[in-house]
Amino acid sequence: MTNARSFSFNLVRHAALVLTSSFALLPFVWMFTTSLKAAGDIFAPFSIWAIIPRNWGAMENYAAVFTDTPMLRFMANGLFVCLAILALQLLIAFPCAYALAKLRFPGRQVLMASVVGSLLIPGQALVLPLFLLFHLVGLLDTYAALIIPHSISVFAIFLFRQFFLTTPDDYVHAARLDGMSEVGVIWRVMVPLAAPAILAFSAFSISSHWNDLLWPMTVVQTRELATAPLGLLFFKSADQGVDYGKLMAAATVVVAPLALVFFYAQRALTDGLGLGGREPKS
């Protein structure tokens, strides 16, 4: 009887997982299959949901991604911006997280509450104030405008602080007895131990800013500084409308690098994010 209940529960659970996964993957499947179709077949009856196109337009669509727009330049811009943001986020988050986890000073709990409270503020609420600020200092339409607003990540501070809490204080005490400064403890002891958390946060940071459209669309005015998501807008024409075959091909090209990263790093991602839930060690 117990085995039958367990089998029924597992069957229902797996069915729910398959259903929700299929629902989540459906837009990506439609995006990819649409990128393979000729323009006349995309919205044709009984063809819009066809997985195998009746008339192939893949060569034309994917060639247009790189000939109609400088997509490689857009992707290079996006990669540079993402890596610069990630480097600044890690550079700032490590000392802050270490101080909140391992140091005792007045106001530490207030600062930690401020970090947690900042997680509740949506990024969209800061777009207008940041735009006015960068306009006043004359930094609109620059790489600095794309990078600086995201250089401090309260999520990174919170994540690494939780990881540092799980690290035994004995490592810190031993490093101090060896004459190591607090800066040395951070970068030579704590950072190497935090490799799984770094990998997990890096994947989320890069994916978040690689896919960001709102902020680049707000501060970028020239085509040379456009990132990959902003480059997708160039497939929309006021005269000819939207060529969905080429647009979906461009979207596939933009999404593919992130899909590969998550596919190969999924185990490290789950391990790194699970570290924050462990019981702190003393």
Q: Which CATH number fits the domain that encloses residue 266?
A: 1.10.3720.10
Location of structure tokens 């007895």:
177
138/254 same-domain check: yes
Distance, CA of 144 to CA of 165 (rounded, Å): 34
Beta bridge partners of 56: 37
Say how far apart CA 219 and CA 217 lie, in whole Å.
6
* CB 262 within 8 Å of CB 269: yes
| Domain boundary, last residue among 12, 42, 60 | 60
Whether the pLDDT of residue 269 is over 80: the answer is: no
Q: Strand pairing partners for 242?
A: 236
Whether residues 158 and 222 share a domain: the answer is yes
DSSP string, 84-102: HHHHHHHHHHHHHHHHHHH
For residues 212 and 55, the model is more confident at 212
pLDDT digits over 96-106, tens only? 999 999 988 89
The β-bridge relationship of strands 236-237 and 241-242 is antiparallel
- Integer Cα distance of 114 and 127 in angstroms: 20
Which of 21, 40, 60 terminates a domain? The answer is: 60
Q: Taking a C-beta distance cutoff of 8 angstroms, is the pair 90, 200 a contact? A: no
pLDDT at 13: 83
Whether the Cβ atoms of residue 234 and residue 69 lie closer than 8 Å to each other: yes
More confident residue, 263 or 29: 29
CA gap 21, 110 in Å, rounded: 40
CA distance 40 to 167: 60
Output the pLDDT for position 239. Answer: 57
* Pairwise pLDDT comparison (88 vs 121), residue with the higher score: 88
Which residues span the domain enclosing 29? 2-60
Cβ-contact 149, 218 below 8 angstroms: no
Q: What is the overall mean pLDDT for the chain?
A: 86
CA distance 161 to 180: 21
270 band by pLDDT with thresholds 50, 70 and 90 = low
241, β-bridge pairs = 237
C-alpha 256/C-alpha 91 separation (Å) is 28
Percent of the chain with pLDDT over 90: 38
Same structural domain, 89 and 173: yes
**Distance, CA of 93 to CA of 122 (rounded, Å):** 19
- Report which of residues 38 and 142 the model is more confident about: 142
Tokens standing for residue 30: 């439609």
CB contact at 8 A, 167 and 173:
no
What is the per-residue pLDDT across 157-192, written as a single tens digit (0 to 9) for each?
999 999 899 888 888 888 888 888 889 999 989 999
> Quick one: how far is CA 207 from the chain centroid?
2
**Structural domains in the chain (count):** 2
- End-of-domain residue from the set 10, 39, 60: 60
What is the band of 280 on the pLDDT scale with cuts at 50, 70, 90?
very low
| Residue 277: per-residue pLDDT | 45
Residues 163 and 32 in one domain: no
Q: Binning pLDDT at 50, 70 and 90, where does residue 212 land?
A: very high
Mean pLDDT is lowest, of 42-46, 124-128, 254-258, for 42-46
**pLDDT at residue 5 tops 90:** no
If asked whether residues 6 and 121 sit together in one domain, one would say no
Q: What is the pLDDT of residues 230-239, one digit of tens each?
A: 988 888 765 5
| 128 and 9 within one domain | no
Residue type, 44: A
Helix axes 71-102, 195-210, angle to 10 degrees: 140
- Rounded Cα distance between 60 and 62, Å, is 6
